[in-house]
Structure 1
Amino acid sequence: MNGARRQVDRRLLRRELRAARTGPAVVVAVVLLLAALVTIAVSFWTADSWGASVFQNGAATVRAAWGEPSWRAAIGAAAGIVGIALIVLALVPGRRRRHGRTTGRVELVVDDGLLADVAAQAVAARCQLPTTQVSATMTAKRVRVRIRPVSGVPVDTAGAADAAQQALAHLGFAVRSDVTVATKGVIA
Structure 2
Amino acid sequence: MNRLEARIVRRETHSPRTVAAAVVAVVLVAAVAWLATEGVLHLLGLRPLLLAPRAQLAAVAAAPSAGAPLLVAVAIVAGVAGVILLALALLPGRRARRVVLGDRAAVVADDEMLASALARRASRAAAVSPDSVTVSLGRRTGVVRIVPVSGMRVDRDEVRTAVSDEFALARTTGPMRFSILVSPTGKVGS
TM-score normalised by L of structure 2: 0.84
How far apart, CA to CA, are the structure 2 residues paired with 1:58 and 1:76?
19
Stretches of 4+ aligned residues off by more than 4 angstroms: 56-62
Stretches of structure 1 lacking an aligned partner (at least 5 in a row)? none
Per the alignment, residue 149 of structure 1 pairs with 148
Two-structure CA RMSD over aligned residues (Å): 2.5
TM-score normalised by L of structure 1: 0.85
1:26 aligns with 2:22: yes
Per the alignment, residue 176 of structure 1 pairs with 177
Deviation at residue 51 of structure 1 after TM alignment: 3.8
Which one has a larger percent helix, Structure 1 or Structure 2? 1
Stretches of structure 2 lacking an aligned partner (at least 5 in a row)? none
SS in 2 for 1:19: coil
The percentage of counterpart residues that share the same residue type is 28
Which one has a larger percent strand, Structure 1 or Structure 2? 1
- Judge which range, 60-69 or 84-93, deviates more: 60-69
SS in 2 for 1:94: coil
How far apart, CA to CA, are the structure 1 residues paired with 2:186 and 2:136?
20
Provide the aligned length of Structure 1 versus Structure 2. Answer: 184
Contact 1:65–1:71 (CA<8 Å) still a contact in 2?
no
Deviation at residue 33 of structure 1 after TM alignment: 1.0
How far apart, CA to CA, are the structure 1 residues paired with 2:141 and 2:71?
45
Deviation at residue 100 of structure 1 after TM alignment: 0.7
How far apart, CA to CA, are the structure 2 residues paired with 1:11 and 1:57?
51
SS in 2 for 1:132: helix
Deviation at residue 54 of structure 1 after TM alignment: 6.3
**Change in 2 beyond 3 A, CA 1:49/1:99:** closer
1:105 aligns with 2:104: yes
Deviation at residue 40 of structure 1 after TM alignment: 1.9
